Amino acid sequence: MMLSEKEKMLKGILYDANYDKTLIGERNRCKILCCKYNNMPYENIDERYSILKSILGSYKDSFVIEPSFWCDYGYNIHLGNNFYSNHNLVILDAAGVIIGDNVFIAPNCGIYTAGHPLNVDDRNKGLEYAKPIKIGNNVWIGANVAILPGVTIGDNVTIGAGSIVNKDIPSNTLAVGNPCKVIRNF
């Protein structure tokens, strides 16, 4: 049986998102909702939350995502309780993004499950892959952090501003840099 491009995407194998009508339709739906959210008057709190709830895969009681917020599909994003993101969060959620409780994200951060192959022929064909990202409980992510495909960040972690997280970060640590490395255990 041949897999659809969406099935390939969700399995983390190379897929083509550029011409698949299902994936294009799902991304367009999500981008339209993100655009509505980002352009909604700030004081329209109930309407803003209603839009976010229609984008996200799941969420718990308390979350705040400051505009602007962009994601690809939305349904692969799962937020724990007491989540806060400051302005300009981008989540490329071709794979699952699981975020625990009490996670705070500073401005201008990106969570990127999507990547492109190193092989130039595959890349030029428009193929890409997606690997899930998991962020534990009680995590603070500083400004301008990029979290790359397949990364797991443990519980009770602080990621310093400007870091590029390309490998797993264990629980109870402070990690910073490019590439992001643990500099202190708690």
The pLDDT tens digits for 115-166 are 999 999 999 999 999 999 999 999 999 999 999 999 999 999 999 999 999 9
- Per-residue confidence (pLDDT) for residue 1, from 0 to 100: 82
Q: How many domains does the chain have?
A: 1
SS3 77: strand
| DSSP 8-class letter at 171 | S
- Per-residue confidence (pLDDT) for residue 108, from 0 to 100: 98
d(CA 59, CA 47): 16
- Per-residue confidence (pLDDT) for residue 171, from 0 to 100: 98
116 is catalytic: yes
pTM of the predicted structure, to 2 decimals: 0.96
Among the listed residues 116, 144, 155, 172, the single catalytic one is 116
What is the domain range of residue 61? Answer: 5-185
Residue 8, judged by CB atoms within 10 A of its CB (0-12, 13-18, 19+), counts as buried
Which residues of the chain carry a pLDDT beneath 50?
none
* Pairing between β-strand 127-130 and β-strand 15-16 as defined by DSSP bridges: antiparallel
User: Is 182 within 8 Å of 167 (Cβ atoms)?
Assistant: no
d(CA 148, CA 132): 9
| DSSP 8-class letter at 140 | E
The domain that holds 166 is classified in CATH as 2.160.10.10
